[in-house]
Amino acid sequence: MAPYWWERLPPETTPPPLPAQADVVIVGSGFTGLAAALTLLRAGRSALVLDAGRPGYGASTRNGGQVGSGNQKFRVRTLIDMMGQKKAEALLHEGVAMLNHIETLVQDENIACHFTRCGRFRGAVQPEHYDAMARDMEDLKRHAGVDSFMVPRAEQDREIATTFFHGGAVLPQDASLHPGLYHAGLSERVQQAGGVIMGGTAVTKAQADGTGFVLQTSRGTVRARDVIIATNGYRQQVSQFCRQRVVPVTSALIATAPLPPQRLRDLMPTGRMYGNSARVFAYFRSAPDEPRLVWGGRVGRNAPAASPRAYAHLARDLLKVFPQAGDMPVSHAWSGQIGYTFDEFPHLGRAPDGLYYAMGYCGTGVSRSTWFGRKIALQLMDKRDGFSEFTGLRFPSHPFHWAAPAAVPAFEQWYRLRDTLNI
């Protein structure tokens, strides 16, 4: 089932012949790979971007288009307890830089993708969540300078037409974009700069040969000086190091058919990005180019991903928040893989086998992937600007990493039960 965002993608083209040699081969043509390629090309290097599917087939064109500072995975106090105040603050400030970087990139490269600083409303699904959010927003301001404000339940109708939430927090600097158009714009800039992007070219092996790497692909062999792995939640066969550290988790979305514009404005008067405080959270928004409601969450486990039944729970969740939306027809349903790590931090660096990598965005990949793609390209070129506070973080695996993908549904059901029982 095709994502709604794909309606604005350029048509697929037949890939050119695979060259025998390349400067840098990038495995994965999502935001990470394209940002890395563009950075390399602007610095005078050349780049060949390879993807097993169509370019952008993965999460980059399947997400909700929500752009934040990547600070949503841990409460600030938890992050400080884990990392110490100095390191935690450095990580938080780099998260803010990620968000600002996307805006600058879109403006500098003139990418028409409906980028807007619309802000984000995060609803409290339990009364005590509201108080915890308020404390966290105070900490976020104190330690990272991020502005926010709380909206009590009695006033939340100015943000969202629901009584489901017990108030919420607004991050006014968070943003949104059209992920399909953003990907198309990045692809166009890469190719205009001399980069080559090839879909239908699965890389199956990368063998060091003393002067670089020999890559086996589904379309032949290519020799490269350097290699960047940029596949995130789509498991690849090239790097065992990365495969043992990133767990694919399925996220799913639905989109309604076009609606009367006023009806969407009545539901979401401020036109923000929206989410909630549940462990198995939902996220939703208005589409930027048509009056549609886009709603995302986890995929249903009682049906194959290609079946409409796999998305029925998303419609039920939508109706819990907006019971007045029962007559809205659903026109699109799709899913994709996000990459989770065992420590819930994103990671970038160079693996022991010499391959560079950037991945593990844990569901906040729009801003993180663009930033990490740029950073890993700068690190490959040994540029001072390649420094990232995330580079030095230990990238943990797990003795039972091979079983993690199969265990994900059980963990999701456990978290869903905890949300239901508020435990």
pLDDT value at position 153?
98
pLDDT value at position 236?
74
What pLDDT, in 10s, does the model give residues 154-185? 999 999 999 999 999 999 999 999 999 999 99
The CATH class given to the 4-421 domain equals alpha beta
What 3-state class would DSSP assign to 288?
coil
Instruction: State yes or no: pLDDT of 129 exceeds 60.
Output: yes
Name the average pLDDT for the chain.
Answer: 93
The C-alpha atoms of residue 182 and residue 103 are separated, in whole angstroms, by: 11
What pLDDT, in 10s, does the model give residues 270-282? 999 999 998 778 9
> Token digits for 227?
């290699």
Helices (H), 119-210: 127-144, 179-192
pLDDT value at position 60?
97
Confidence of residue 405 (pLDDT cuts 50, 70, 90): confident
Residue whose structure tokens are 């589904």: 218
Confidence of residue 342 (pLDDT cuts 50, 70, 90): very high
Q: At residue 356, what is the residue type?
A: Y
What 3-state class would DSSP assign to 39?
helix
Dump the DSSP string for 99-114: HHHHHHHHHHTT--S-
pLDDT value at position 412?
67
pLDDT value at position 398?
86
Q: What is the CA 124 to chain-centroid distance, rounded?
A: 22
Instruction: State yes or no: pLDDT of 71 exceeds 80.
Output: no
246 φ, ψ to 5°? -125, 130
The DSSP letter of residue 156 is: G
Q: At residue 18, what is the residue type?
A: L
Q: Which of 394, 350, 372 is nearest to 97 (CA)?
A: 372
pLDDT value at position 377?
99
> Using an 8 Å Cβ cutoff, are 243 and 235 in contact?
yes
Q: Which of 299, 265, 305 is nearest to 285 (CA)?
A: 265
- In this prediction the pTM is 0.95
Residue whose structure tokens are 């070219």: 201
What 3-state class would DSSP assign to 91?
helix
What pLDDT, in 10s, does the model give residues 213-268? 999 999 999 999 999 999 999 977 789 999 999 999 999 999 999 999 999 999 99
Instruction: State yes or no: pLDDT of 290 exceeds 70.
Output: yes
